[in-house]
Amino acid sequence: MTSAFTQAHITYAAVVPMLVVFGAALVGVLVEAFLPRSRRYWAQLAITLVGIVASFLTLVLSARNHKGVTAGAAVVIDGPALMLQGTVLVISFLAVLLMAERFDLSAPDAFTQSGASVPGSPMETNAVKLGATTTEVFPLVLFSIGGMMLFVSAGDLLVMFIALEVLSLPLYILTGLARRRRLLSQEASLKYFLLGAFSSAFFLFGSALVYGATGIIKFGDLASSIGTVTGKDDILIPGAFLIAVGLLFKVGAVPFHTWTPDVYQGAPTPVSGFMSTTVKVAAFGAMLRMFYVALDGLAWNWQPVLAVVAVLTMAVGAIFAVTQTDMKRLLAYSSISHAGFLLVGVVALNKTGLSGTMFYLVAYSFTTLAAFGMIPLVRSAGSEATHLSQWAGLGKTSPVLAAVFSFLLLGFAGIPLTSGFTAKFALFSGAVGHGATWLVVVAMLMSAITAFVYVRVIVLMYFSEPNGDTHVLMPSALTGIAVTVGALATLILGVAPAPLLNLAQHSALFIR
């Protein structure tokens, strides 16, 4: 340890995608402060979308050619980081389209017009009367995206923790902004915040223990020195486990999953879609880096723990999904079981597992986002009809919606010619024979149960009598594009997954 301060060198070409996103977010804050209310929606939407696109372009044109460790090893731009940053950007673009959906209203439909007011209070009524908008969601989303991009490229424990908070805090607010059933939404927000803070504490404490044992926070150095540290296992290994807990909370792994259904149900549906996809991508990205790089040397210790967590996650996700009656909760449990499948790839700890996990994340995100994008279309008495019984008979009343949604469900179930199949195949064939064969057997069993869950919904839509008061809204181009892209990706990644699989394969190399 030297005492002299030296300025870290930053390769700006490598981190410019993150800077663009954060810059756009700051512009968004200014817009919120200075632009009149009537013009904010379009301005914010344009800034957000342009920001995301620009960030993606810089990622492809600039950052891709400047792989390496930068900013004093605080940020690592390598294959997995680039691939997952790109995924977060693409999925976020679609999610923002969903959030902007207005259904002929003056403000985005999913969000309350006055987040700070007490539900049902005169203040709320007044805000609605004045035509208030909650366009703050756009800069909030951008901050969160920036946090996720940093999360997957963090090079040391502290930066990873900061990124975790940057991505999480905006989500806590976004969760509480639902237009309808506001109490449920605010309750979800508070729950998410409390539990998120709880898990962050674990992460931070774990980091402290690891630092205490090794005196190192940089992942690369941790990787090379963990094997040489002796006699400090009593601090080091619990530290590693506590870090794992913080990350497992974010992906919604059992027993750290309890927030998932409540939060997904309470949050505005597009936000649920955003959380269940991009957050999962980011958190798995961070987890992969943590376990494949920093804690690689402790694999003997964490692999059995993660394997047990994976089994629990798959089982709880699958079994609880069976009796759900709410579509958003059903998708929440489905996302839990998918997190379990993804953990199988993490446990595998090899290159195929890494590329398989990344491919699975992409495939899963497109399908999930499209599914969440379709939920707001089904309405009953002015609000979203999320109860399963309200989806009965949609096959007759709105065949297109039912057909697309059924296709997405088949994708979740992993039927061939959907991305779900190729993703499961890529993931599990990497895991088989690397000490995770029995996990794959469990995963197959659980995926049979979840398939039953999805098919039940299809049966409900096609074989039951329509429910009288349910109707389907005609979406604007915003939702239309997002859902179409998601469904098309589900199909294309099932039929011709080669380009993306190749990309994942070529990207599957961490720089230490």
Partner 1 sequence: MTIHDATGVASIGWLMIGLPALGAALLLLGGKKLDKAGPYVAVLLSWASFVIGLLILLQLRGKPADDRAMHLHLYSWIPAGQLNLSAGMLMDQLSLTFVMLITFVGSLILVYSLGYMQHDPDKRRFFAYLNLFVASMLLLVLADSYVLLFVGWEGVGLASYLLIGFWNWNPEYATAANKAFFLNRIGDMGMLLAMFIMFWAWHTVSFSGVNAAVAGTGKGTLLAVGLCLLVAACGKSAQFPLQSWLGDAMAGPTPVSALIHAATMVTAGVYLIVRSHVIFTASENARLAVCIVGAITLAGGAIIGCAKDDLKKALAASTMSQIGYMVLAAGLGPVGYAFAIFHLVTHGFFKAGMFLGAGSVMHGMNDQVNMRRFGGLWLVMKITWVTFGLGFLAIIGFPGFSGFWSKDKIIEAAFEGTGWKPWVFGLTALLAAGITAFYMSRLFFMTFMGKRRWTEDVHPHESPLTMTIPMMVLAIGSAFLGLILGPTGIITDWLEPVVGKHEDSQHVLGGAPLMGSTFVLMVIGIALAWKMYWRDPVPITPPVGSPLTQAARRDLGQDDFNESFVRRPGLHLTRSLVFFDNKVVDGVGNGSAAGIGGSSARLKKMQNGYVRTYSLTMLLGVVVILGAWWVVQ
Binding to partner 1 in span 448-487, by CB under 8 A: 448, 451-452, 455-456, 459, 462-464
- Of residues 41 and 192, the one with the C-beta less far from partner 1: 192
77 near 68, Cβ under 8 Å? yes
Question: Candidates 98-106, 121-129, 314-322, 336-344 — which segment interacts with partner 1 by CB under 8 A?
Answer: 314-322
> Can you tell me which of 61, 105, 496, 509 binds partner 1, judged by CB under 8 A?
496
User: Closest separation between CB of residue 370 and partner 1, Å?
Assistant: 20
> Can you tell me which of 10, 61, 116, 322 binds partner 1, judged by CB under 8 A?
322
- Of residues 128 and 305, the one with the C-beta less far from partner 1: 305
Cα(277)–Cα(428) distance, rounded to whole angstroms?
A: 20
Run of H or E including 55: helix 37-61
Token pair 């495939």 in the structure block, residue: 363
Alpha helix ranges (H) inside 275-326: 280-289, 299-322
* Residues from 223 through 252 that contact partner 1 (CB under 8 A): 233, 237-238, 241-242, 245, 249
User: Closest separation between CB of residue 485 and partner 1, Å?
Assistant: 20
List the one residue out of 132, 90, 88, 142 whose CA is nearest residue 111. 132
Alpha helix ranges (H) inside 419-508: 419-431, 437-463, 477-495, 498-507
Cα(363)–Cα(92) distance, rounded to whole angstroms?
A: 14
Token pair 């389907």 in the structure block, residue: 472
414 near 451, Cβ under 8 Å? yes
DSSP label of 470: E
Alpha helix ranges (H) inside 106-156: 122-130, 137-153
User: Closest separation between CB of residue 358 and partner 1, Å?
Assistant: 11
* Residues from 269 through 308 that contact partner 1 (CB under 8 A): 301, 305
User: Closest separation between CB of residue 123 and partner 1, Å?
Assistant: 17
357: alpha, beta or left, given left = phi > 0 and alpha = psi -120 to 50? alpha
- Of residues 93 and 292, the one with the C-beta less far from partner 1: 292
User: Closest separation between CB of residue 212 and partner 1, Å?
Assistant: 16
> Can you tell me which of 161, 172, 405, 428 binds partner 1, judged by CB under 8 A?
428
User: Closest separation between CB of residue 316 and partner 1, Å?
Assistant: 9
3-state DSSP assignment of residue 241: helix
3-state DSSP assignment of residue 13: helix
List the one residue out of 60, 61, 63, 49 whose CA is nearest residue 21. 49
* Residues from 118 through 147 that contact partner 1 (CB under 8 A): 119
- Of residues 103 and 462, the one with the C-beta less far from partner 1: 462
Cα(127)–Cα(133) distance, rounded to whole angstroms?
A: 8
> Can you tell me which of 123, 194, 477, 509 binds partner 1, judged by CB under 8 A?
194
Interface pattern 102-121 for partner 1 (x via CB under 8 A): -----------------x--
Residue 319, interface with partner 1 (CB under 8 A)?
A: yes
> Can you tell me which of 38, 121, 125, 502 binds partner 1, judged by CB under 8 A?
502
- Of residues 131 and 212, the one with the C-beta less far from partner 1: 212
- Of residues 19 and 442, the one with the C-beta less far from partner 1: 442
344 near 384, Cβ under 8 Å? no
- Of residues 67 and 456, the one with the C-beta less far from partner 1: 456
User: Closest separation between CB of residue 340 and partner 1, Å?
Assistant: 14
Q: Is omega for the bond preceding 475 within 30 degrees of 0, making it cis? A: no
> Can you tell me which of 6, 7, 230, 323 binds partner 1, judged by CB under 8 A?
323
3-state DSSP assignment of residue 118: coil
User: Closest separation between CB of residue 331 and partner 1, Å?
Assistant: 14
- Of residues 47 and 209, the one with the C-beta less far from partner 1: 209
* Residues from 339 through 378 that contact partner 1 (CB under 8 A): 351-352, 355
Counting residues that bind partner 1 (by CB under 8 A) gives 72
- Of residues 13 and 319, the one with the C-beta less far from partner 1: 319
Q: Is 511 exposed, middle or buried (0-12, 13-18, 19+ CB in 10 A)?
A: middle
Run of H or E including 77: strand 75-77
* Residues from 195 through 224 that contact partner 1 (CB under 8 A): 195, 198-199, 202
List the one residue out of 4, 167, 161 whose CA is nearest residue 74. 161
Could you write out the DSSP letters of every residue in 396-416? HH-HHHHHHHHHHHHHHHT-T
User: Closest separation between CB of residue 375 and partner 1, Å?
Assistant: 15
- Of residues 97 and 253, the one with the C-beta less far from partner 1: 253
Question: Candidates 2-10, 168-176, 188-196, 217-225 — which segment interacts with partner 1 by CB under 8 A?
Answer: 188-196
* Residues from 376 through 405 that contact partner 1 (CB under 8 A): none
Cα(280)–Cα(332) distance, rounded to whole angstroms?
A: 12
